[in-house]
Amino acid sequence: MTAKCKSAKYYAKNPAARKKKAATDKKINARPEQVKKRVEANKARRKAKAAGKNVKGKDASHTKKGIVFKDSSKNRGSKSDSSGDKRARGSRKKK
């Protein structure tokens, strides 16, 4: 059994917050751009499996280089692959 992270513990203890997060996630996952991204990942996974590649335990990661298969633990914690992650962290102004 794996240990829960802070957010997982929080949502386990707070059913109202968990319900609100589920509703938000549902809206996000229904967005056309998100659906398109998911469809691309599923298609890439099917194609890789048909080609005989081992994709067990891996996610189709959308990177600048295209779709790459990564370990799911690394992909879900990735901070460098998408511009959205970089923008969310902020940056310092250059002098």
Partners of 60 in the beta sheet?
Answer: 69
Q: Is residue 35 part of a domain?
A: yes
pTM score:
0.66
Q: Is residue 53 part of a domain?
A: yes
Q: Is residue 39 part of a domain?
A: yes
Q: Which domain holds residue 37?
A: 8-75
Structure-block tokens of residue 56: 């067990």
Structural domains counted in the chain:
1
Banded pLDDT at 4 (limits 50, 70, 90) = confident
The answer to whether the beta carbons of residues 60 and 69 sit under 8 Å apart is yes
Q: Is residue 86 part of a domain?
A: no
Residue type, 19: K
Q: Is residue 88 part of a domain?
A: no
Residue type, 27: K
pLDDT in tens, 34-66: 999 999 999 999 999 999 999 999 998 888 888
Structure-block tokens of residue 16: 């109202």
Mean pLDDT is highest, among 1-10, 14-23, 80-89, for 14-23
Summarize the confidence of residues 17-32 as an average pLDDT: 96
CB atoms within 10 A of CB 68: 15
pLDDT score of 80: 65
Q: Is residue 67 part of a domain?
A: yes
Q: Is residue 2 part of a domain?
A: no
What whole-number distance in Å separates Cα of residue 71 and Cα of residue 75?
Answer: 6
